[in-house]
């Protein structure tokens, strides 16, 4: 069982969580619990580290100390939940990342879990006790504290479920499942009873914020069934059809072509004009961006009809836009373009579904729905189970609603 920040925001809610844990034990399950920090806590801690300022020239960067500070939020909630459980008569014991241990690489701030030694947790569960783990944190082989990136407690939970070979990983959060799209934009959005790992992975990386992307990758790799459900259910009420199950495609009976519409406003479009139309130009552009650690998403290139030049547009994360522009300007004479522009008044809207593999006309439905609403498409990209379009930001909500209806998602 994993509980997010809003579910452990104060002692009253932590007591609620404890009742949910106790109810699960009464059903005969051994339970390991992973907790996030109280809502808002991690942001506050990050702000403290910003205030401390960077290391002076010649000294190593303080990323490892950033982790020491921001990991502390989960220490508080893990200890408090164990205390509240004991107060209710349920023996529980907390574990920090280094105590378990949850071993990670040394990428402070965005560490990846490499190994979990489950022995202490298994001993705790075997003794009939609840193991309460601080999410989001781990330890390097050298004994330094790490954190797994924002939203990383989801990944802690899935990794621990996999290491314990749990029958399921229940992610309790402030929404009651995974929806066909954001219900704040489309009131007809429906909760999906089931979604495949692959679809969830696309949805998470395309901007649906329910689960950290890495947690879905892990669940898929280890075939760990994950359930997303609201922590505001009454204890004892979480039945097997509550929430959304993230599972293997084969375990989904109902066949849909499209499962969801996702969108992201965190994009920016970079356009290069007057590129030489010769081999090696793209390689120059994208190796410079890669060296600068800028992730590129969508790409289009077109050749000018009247000259020997080409134009290229690509998208980057909005936070990287400034850096991408600098990198391009620095490479202007080497790459050989005449002009570069940047546009962050854009949004990416995507439809996701494993049914696309076997059905024709899925893209056409999307393009027609957008055309009918007068939405202009700037860039298109596709994968086997996803079609994304880049549009003017002002049309995001209109596009999401039009697509939700076009694929019949309001009638699921």
Torsion angles phi and psi, residue 137, rounded to 5: -130, 155
Closer residue to ligand ASP in complex, CB, 36/259 = 36
Closest CA to 324 of 269, 395, 281: 269
Residue 334 CB partners (closer than 8 Å, separation 6+): 284
Residue 5, contacted partner among ligand ASP, Mg ion, none, CB below 5-8 A by kind: ligand ASP
Residue 37, contacted partner among ligand ASP, Mg ion, none, CB below 5-8 A by kind: ligand ASP
Closer residue to Mg ion in complex, CB, 73/151 = 151
User: What residue ranges bind ligand ASP (CB under 6 A)?
Assistant: 4-5, 36-37, 42, 73, 135-136, 150-154
Q: How far is the CB of 72 from ligand ASP (least distance, A)?
A: 10
Closer residue to ligand ASP in complex, CB, 2/348 = 2
Closer residue to ligand ASP in complex, CB, 37/294 = 37
Can you read off the two tokens belonging to residue 178?
């995974």
User: What residue ranges bind Mg ion (CB under 5 A)?
Assistant: 4, 151
Distance (Å, rounded) from C-alpha 130 to C-alpha 312? 56
Distance (Å, rounded) from C-alpha 238 to C-alpha 228? 11
Closer residue to ligand ASP in complex, CB, 34/327 = 34
Distance (Å, rounded) from C-alpha 61 to C-alpha 57? 9
Beta bridge partners of residue 276, listed in sequence order: 309
Distance (Å, rounded) from C-alpha 159 to C-alpha 113? 8
Distance (Å, rounded) from C-alpha 149 to C-alpha 201? 17
Residue 152, contacted partner among ligand ASP, Mg ion, none, CB below 5-8 A by kind: ligand ASP
Q: How far is the CB of 84 from ligand ASP (least distance, A)?
A: 19
Q: How far is the CB of 49 from ligand ASP (least distance, A)?
A: 13
Q: How far is the CB of 347 from ligand ASP (least distance, A)?
A: 24
Q: Classify strands 346-352 and 386-392 as parallel, antiparallel or unpaired.
A: antiparallel
Q: How far is the CB of 174 from ligand ASP (least distance, A)?
A: 12
Please give the DSSP secondary-structure letter assigned to residue 37. P
Nearest position to Mg ion, beta carbon = 151
């Amino acid at each position: 069982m994993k509980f997010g920040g809003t579910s452990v925001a104060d002692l009253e809610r932590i007591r609620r969580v404890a009742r949910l844990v106790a109810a699960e034990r009464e059903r005969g399950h051994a339970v390991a619990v992973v907790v996030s920090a109280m809502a808002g806590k991690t942001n506050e801690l990050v702000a403290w580290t910003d205030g401390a300022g960077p290391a002076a020239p010649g000294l190593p960067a303080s990323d490892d100390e950033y982790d020491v500070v921001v990991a502390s939020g989960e220490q508080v909630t893990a200890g408090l939940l164990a205390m509240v459980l004991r107060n209710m008569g349920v023996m529980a014991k907390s574990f920090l990342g280094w105590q378990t241990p949850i071993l990670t690489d040394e990428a402070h701030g965005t560490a990846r879990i490499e190994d979990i030694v489950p022995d202490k947790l298994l001993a705790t569960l075997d003794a009939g006790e609840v193991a309460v783990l601080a999410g989001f944190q781990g330890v390097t082989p050298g004994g330094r504290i790490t954190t797994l990136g924002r939203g990383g407690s989801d990944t802690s939970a899935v990794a621990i479920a996999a290491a314990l070979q749990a029958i399921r990983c229940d992610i309790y959060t402030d929404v009651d499942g995974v929806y066909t799209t954001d219900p704040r934009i489309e009131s007809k959005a429906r909760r999906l009873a089931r979604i495949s790992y692959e679809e969830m992975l696309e949805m998470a990386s395309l901007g649906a914020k329910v689960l950290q992307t890495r947690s879905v990758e892990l669940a898929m790799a280890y075939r760990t069934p994950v359930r997303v459900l609201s922590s505001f259910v009454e204890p004892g009420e979480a039945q097997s059809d509550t929430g959304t199950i993230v599972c293997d495609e084969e375990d989904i009976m109902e066949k849909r072509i499209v499962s969801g519409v996702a969108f992201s406003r965190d994009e920016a479009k970079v356009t290069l004009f007057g590129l030489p139309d010769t081999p090696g130009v793209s390689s120059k552009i994208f190796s410079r961006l890669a060296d600068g650690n800028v992730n590129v998403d969508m790409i289009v290139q077109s050749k000018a009809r009247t000259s020997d030049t080409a134009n290229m547009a690509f998208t980057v994360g909005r936070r990287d836009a400034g850096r991408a522009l600098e990198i391009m300007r620095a490479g202007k004479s080497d790459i050989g373009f005449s002009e570069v522009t940047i546009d962050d008044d854009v949004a990416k809207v995507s439809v996701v579904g494993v049914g696309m593999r076997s059905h024709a006309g899925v893209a056409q439905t999307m393009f027609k729905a957008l055309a009918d609403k007068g939405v202009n498409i700037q860039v298109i990209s596709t994968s086997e189970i996803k079609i994304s379009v880049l549009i003017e930001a002002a049309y995001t909500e209109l596009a999401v609603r039009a697509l939700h209806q076009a694929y019949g998602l309001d009638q699921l």
